[in-house]
């Protein structure tokens, strides 16, 4: 296990799910943390647990990270703290028929999932490139591999994030920069995601949902090895492999059947 003592990570979306897992994993490797999310009580509770358990320093920044302005504000807040790792984990999904969804809420989701993540990566990659060291993990999704009915916009934001991550990693490698970028693409996982998205747990979901902590461990290990994409669990990797040979309309039909509540 790589020791990262003395280095510092910024984790967005740190109040629950993968964000909490990442905090434990990185603190266990000796990293000091800056954790951010909207829920102050959750952040403070996480800070107490992490500091007591691992003996590292944790700073909390409570804020809504939707959009470029929020990302710019967060960067201004922490840019002088010599951050070594950015975990772009903030995001959420909206389940349902697109025609019935609210445009303003869809915009907010796009701003959080894609715009804020891209802006933070842009701000921090400049710092990382200048010192020729750093790591960026972007939480994408299995949904980024194919058109996903009921999650049409969410899946599109994750496809953006996955392709952006791999392209950025390639630029850095070709430019001789020692900066790692990895897209983390989990499938359905036992976090708050499904409940927040407004999706009921279907038979398919109950049979295929995975645990978050082992997936988060795999994501961090992949990031430290500068792998372009990490997808936990064989069934997810096999599914993504099969999608390569399907027409996109067929892939969308398969997704529709697997996550429809009817």
* 156-209 residue pLDDT tens: 999 999 999 999 999 999 999 999 999 999 866 545 555 565 556 555 555 565
Torsion of CA 53, 120, 106, 204, to 10 degrees: -50
Assess contact for 142 and 234: CB atoms under 8 A.
no
Buried b (16+ CB within 10 A) or exposed e, 60-92: bbeeebbbeebbeebbeebeeeebbbbbbbbbe
Question: Is the pLDDT assigned to residue 259 strictly greater than 90?
Answer: no
Question: Is the pLDDT assigned to residue 220 strictly greater than 90?
Answer: yes
Question: Is the pLDDT assigned to residue 8 strictly greater than 80?
Answer: yes
The pair of three-digit structure tokens given for residue 159, joined into one six-digit string: 């496809």
Q: In what order do the strands lie in the sheet with 229-230?
A: 58-62, 32-37, 8-12, 85-88, 134-139, 179-184, 229-230
Residue 212 pLDDT: 80
Assess contact for 92 and 37: CB atoms under 8 A.
no
1 or 7: which carries more pLDDT confidence?
7
Question: Is the pLDDT assigned to residue 239 strictly greater than 90?
Answer: no
57-107 confidence digits (pLDDT tens) = 999 999 999 989 999 999 999 999 999 999 999 998 888 899 999 999 999
Q: How many CB atoms lie within 10 A of CB 138?
A: 27
Candidate from 40-44, 150-154, 173-177, 206-210 with smallest mean pLDDT = 206-210
Question: Is the pLDDT assigned to residue 221 strictly greater than 90?
Answer: yes
Please give the mean pLDDT across all residues of the chain: 86
CA gap 24, 41 in Å, rounded: 17
Which residue, 20, 201, 191, is CA-closest to 11? 20
12 — pLDDT class (breaks 50, 70, 90): very high
The percentage of residues in the chain with a pLDDT greater than 70, rounded to a whole number, is: 78
Question: Is the pLDDT assigned to residue 51 strictly greater than 90?
Answer: yes
Average pLDDT over residues 39-57: 96
Residue 147 pLDDT: 80
Question: Is the pLDDT assigned to residue 252 strictly greater than 60?
Answer: no
CA gap 16, 41 in Å, rounded: 11
Instruction: Give the total residue count for the chain.
Output: 262
Would you name the residues annotated as active-site residues?
154, 158
Long-range Cβ pairs for the range 121-127 (8 Å, 24+): 121/86, 121/88, 121/164, 121/168, 121/181, 123/71, 123/72, 123/75, 123/79, 124/10, 124/75, 124/83, 124/86, 125/168, 125/172, 125/179, 127/79, 127/83
In the chain the domains, ranked by start, together with CATH numbers, are 8-259 (3.40.50.720)
Helix, strand, coil % in the chain, rounded to nearest 5: 55, 15, 30
143 — pLDDT class (breaks 50, 70, 90): confident
CA gap 198, 71 in Å, rounded: 26
> Is the pTM value of this prediction over 0.75?
yes
Which residue, 227, 191, 235, is CA-closest to 21? 191
240 or 83: which carries more pLDDT confidence?
83
Question: Is the pLDDT assigned to residue 26 strictly greater than 90?
Answer: yes
Question: Is the pLDDT assigned to residue 248 strictly greater than 70?
Answer: no
Residue 182 pLDDT: 98
The pair of three-digit structure tokens given for residue 129, joined into one six-digit string: 């490139």
């Amino acid at each position: 296990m790589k020791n990262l003592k003395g280095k510092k990570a910024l984790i967005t979306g740190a109040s629950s799910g993968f964000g909490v897992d990442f905090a434990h994993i990185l603190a266990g490797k000796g990293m000091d943390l800056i954790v951010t999310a909207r829920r102050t009580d959750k952040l403070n509770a996480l800070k107490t647990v992490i500091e007591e358990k691992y003996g590292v320093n944790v700073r909390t920044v409570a804020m809504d990270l939707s959009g470029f302005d929020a990302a710019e504000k967060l960067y201004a807040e922490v840019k002088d703290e010599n951050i070594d790792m950015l975990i772009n984990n903030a995001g959420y999904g909206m389940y349902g028929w697109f025609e019935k969804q609210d445009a303003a809420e869809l915009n907010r989701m796009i701003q959080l999932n894609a715009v804020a993540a891209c802006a933070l990566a842009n701000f921090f990659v400049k710092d990382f490139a200048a010192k020729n060291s750093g790591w960026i993990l972007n939480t994408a999704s299995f949904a980024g591999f194919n058109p996903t009915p009921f999650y049409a916009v969410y899946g599109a934001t994750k496809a953006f994030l996955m392709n952006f991550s791999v392209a950025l990693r390639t630029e850095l490698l070709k430019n001789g920069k020692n900066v790692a970028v990895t897209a983390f693409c989990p499938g359905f996982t036992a976090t708050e995601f499904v409940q927040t998205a407004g999706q009921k747990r279907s038979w398919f979901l109950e049979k295929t949902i995975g645990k978050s902590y082992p997936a988060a461990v795999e994501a961090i290990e992949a990031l430290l090895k500068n792998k372009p994409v990490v997808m936990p669990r064989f069934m997810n990797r096999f599914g993504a492999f099969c999608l390569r040979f399907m027409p996109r309309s067929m892939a969308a039909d398969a997704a529709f059947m697997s996550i429809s509540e009817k």
